[in-house]
Amino acid sequence: MRMAGFVRAVVFDMDGTITAPLLDFGRMKAEIGAPVDRGLLESMALMEGQELARANEVLLRHELEAARESTLNPGVRETLRELASMGLAAAILTRNCRASVDIVLRKHDLIFDAVVTREDSLPKPDPDGVVIAAWRMGVPAERCMMVGDFEFDILAGRAAGAITVLYAPDGRTFKTASDFHVRSIREIPELARSLS
C-alpha cells in the first residue's frame, strides 16, 4: 500500500507531451540516411567522422526549427501551476538537445525544477535520464511519475522504477504497457492525488 502523497514529482517528455509534436522523424532519417526501423540517436551512435558530423547538423537544424515553431499541448500551463500548488516538482526529460529545450522554455515562459537532455544522460529508453531528473529534484525515482507520448518514455520510466503514464489523446497504445493512460495533460494532477 502506498503512503499518502506517494508521488512527489512528475517527469515530462517534451516533444509530443509538453509541446505538440512537430519533429518529422521519417523525414529526418531519410535526410540523414538512417534506417527507418531504428531510433535516430541509436543509428547516429553507430556513425563516425563526416557522416556523424553531417547527421548532427541535420538533427540540430530540425530540433531548433521545431522548438522555434512549438506550441504547447492543451492544459500544460494549468497542469504545471496545479502541480506546483500541490508541492510537486516537475522536470523535462528529452532526447532533444539543450538548445532546443531552452528555446521552448523561453518562448512559452515555462520553468521546470530540472531539465535533462541528451547532453546530460543516456537517451530514453535508458532509465538514466529519469534517475538523473529525480536526483536533481531531490526525489527517489520510485516517487516520480514519468509522463510521455512514446514507448521509449514508458520503457525508461519502468526501468527506473517510476510510475509510468502514457499521454495519448488519440487513445493509441504500445507493446510496452504503461501503469496509466491519459488523453489529456489536465488529468495528471488528479492522477497524482489518487496515488496515495
pLDDT in tens, 154-196: 999 999 999 999 999 998 888 889 999 999 999 999 999 998 6
- CA distance from start to end of the chain: 8
Residues 55 and 129 in one domain: no
Residues 160 and 148 in one domain: yes
- pLDDT-derived band at 1 (thresholds 50, 70, 90) equals very low
Residues 40 and 102 in one domain: no
Residues 123 and 29 in one domain: no
| CATH code for the domain in which residue 100 is found | 3.40.50.1000
C-alpha cell at 143: 516517487
**∠ CA 165-182-146, rounded to 5°:** 20
Per the structure, how many domains does the chain have? 2
Q: d(Cα 169, Cα 70) in Å, to the nearest integer?
A: 18
C-alpha cell at 105: 522554455
Residues 31 and 16 in one domain: no
Q: For 136-157, what is each residue's pLDDT tens digit?
A: 999 999 999 999 999 999 999 9
* DSSP track, 13-57: -TBTTTB-----HHHHHHHHT--TTS-HHHHHTT--HHHHHHHHH
Q: Please tell me the predicted confidence (pLDDT) of residue 24.
A: 82
Q: d(Cα 64, Cα 153) in Å, to the nearest integer?
A: 21
Residues 128 and 42 in one domain: no
Residues 60 and 153 in one domain: no
In this structure, which amino acid lies at residue 130?
V
pLDDT above 60 (res 2): no
Residues 109 and 39 in one domain: no
Q: Please tell me the predicted confidence (pLDDT) of residue 196.
A: 63
CA atoms within 13 A on the CB side of 132: 19
Q: d(Cα 173, Cα 162) in Å, to the nearest integer?
A: 19
Q: Please tell me the predicted confidence (pLDDT) of residue 3.
A: 46
pLDDT above 70 (res 97): yes
Q: Which residue has the higher pLDDT, 3 or 88?
A: 88
Mean pLDDT score of the chain, rounded to an integer? 93
64: containing domain? 25-68
Q: Is residue 4 part of a domain?
A: no
* pTM exceeds cut of 0.85: yes
